[in-house]
Amino acid sequence: MQDGRITLTQFIIEEQRHIDGATGDFTSLLNDIVTACKVISNAVNHGALVGVLGSAGSENVQGETQKKLDVIANEVFLRSNEWAGHLAAMASEEMEDVYPIPERYPRGKYLLTFDPLDGSSNIDVNVSVGTIFSILRCPGECRTRPSAEAFLQPGTEQVCAGYALYGPSTMMVLTTGNGVNGFTLDQNIGEFVLTHPNMTIPADTREFAINASNMRFWEPPVRRYVDECLAGREGPRGEDFNMRWIASMVAEVHRILTRGGIFMYPLDEKMKAAGKTGKLRLLYEANPMGFIVEQAGGMAVTGRSRILELEPEGLHQRVPVILGSRNEVQRVLDYHREHDATHAA
């Protein structure tokens, strides 16, 4: 811009030069995603004034009650990204099946998955929520007949991942595999401006985030890790720890990118008994956040393996998520390894 600031549009045009085989398509797709996030941000900001709070009275494929804003944000993403010819299909937390780009529009070479509104239990209480997205290439024949299988690519295949955070300020944080950069929405000019270049996660932290109401169901390695944190200076870690739980993964990851920390939504006995494989969704929560966290120097694992290397089995597959500061995530990984080695079947 004239004033020396770098807009997101300028940044992604320059960034695209690092992506193999990318044409103007990618920049244009990101612009449409950015527009969708601005529209959602506007709806979130106006809240009760424009009647967008509360329940929609329906359930999504996960059996969760949809908020009005879950449905609105999903529609905004579909409408904003279907027309331009960059995508073959989209998949979302709020839709059971994939959404092939309708015949009346040209189809493109990318796939988009998204969680249109993350942390939606926070909407009605005016606490931060966000949007998470991931861009994949459309393999082989998928352009003509896009199916769910086309989306089942490991997270290492992501071309781009990002999130928008609708907090005290609206931010967009992105990676295309070349580091992580954060942009703040300047409401006066309607542009995201680069404010957080090269975001990196400190390797060490004294802050953890976990929903402790599930403590009685945790597996021994998670319980051990948290017990040791809680024991503070008198315990084996020899230091006091702080705890946070916002119930909005976008906000937790953003805090971790800003000042470090570890976030855990682990596998637990209650999930296992119910036949569930985790709480968070692989394709539009764990993979994009894992990509961002790794690009910022952190780690993202299930407790037993690297999230980005998982071979997805379903569009809405759930996985355990442990991510953040490298040394702490490695410690939790080690605790799982030690436990599994001594309790092998």
Give the residues lining the site for Mn ion (CB under 5 A).
93, 115, 117-118
Which one-letter amino acid corresponds to residue 79? R
Structure tokens at 155: 């997270």
Cβ neighbours around 336 below 10 Å, total: 25
Instruction: Give the nearest distance from C-beta 146 to ligand AHG in angstroms.
Output: 23
Shortest distance in whole angstroms from residue 318 CB to ligand AHG:
10
Q: Which two tokens stand for residue 267?
A: 């596998």
- Note whether 162 binds ligand AHG by CB under 6 A: no
Residue 119 as a binder of ligand AHG (CB under 6 A): the answer is yes
**Residue with the CB atom nearest ligand AHG in the bound state:** 249
Q: Which is nearer to ligand AHG, 126 or 211 (CB)?
A: 211
Q: What share of residues in the chain are helix, strand, coil (percent, to 5)?
A: 40, 25, 35
Q: Which of the stretches 99-107, 196-204, 242-250, 336-344 binds ligand AHG when contact is defined by CB under 6 A?
A: 242-250
Contact positions with ligand AHG (CB under 6 A) in 84-103: 93
CA 284 to chain centre: 6
Please, what is the minimum distance in Å from the beta carbon of residue 209 to Mn ion? 15
Q: Which does 291 bind (CB under 5 to 8 A by kind): ligand AHG, Mn ion, none?
A: none
Q: Which does 175 bind (CB under 5 to 8 A by kind): Mn ion, ligand AHG, none?
A: none
According to CB under 6 A, which one of 73, 249, 253, 262 is a site residue for ligand AHG?
249
Q: From 251, 253, 320, 235, select the one nearest 281 (Cα to Cα).
A: 320
In whole angstroms, how close is the CB of 10 to ligand AHG at the nearest point? 31
Among 15, 82, 115, 294, binds ligand AHG (CB under 6 A): 115
- Beta-strand (E) ranges in 23-109? 55-59, 65-67, 87-92, 99-100
The SS3 assignment for 235 reads coil
Can residue 247 be called a binding residue for ligand AHG (CB under 6 A)?
Answer: yes
Residue 339 token pair: 């436990």
Long-range contact pairs involving 237-242 (C-beta distance under 8 Å, separation at least 24): 239/206, 240/206, 241/206, 241/207, 241/208, 242/206, 242/207, 242/208
Distances (CA, A) of 246 to 115, 125, 226: 17, 12, 17
Contacts to ligand AHG by CB under 6 A: 64, 93, 115, 118-121, 211, 247-249, 265, 279
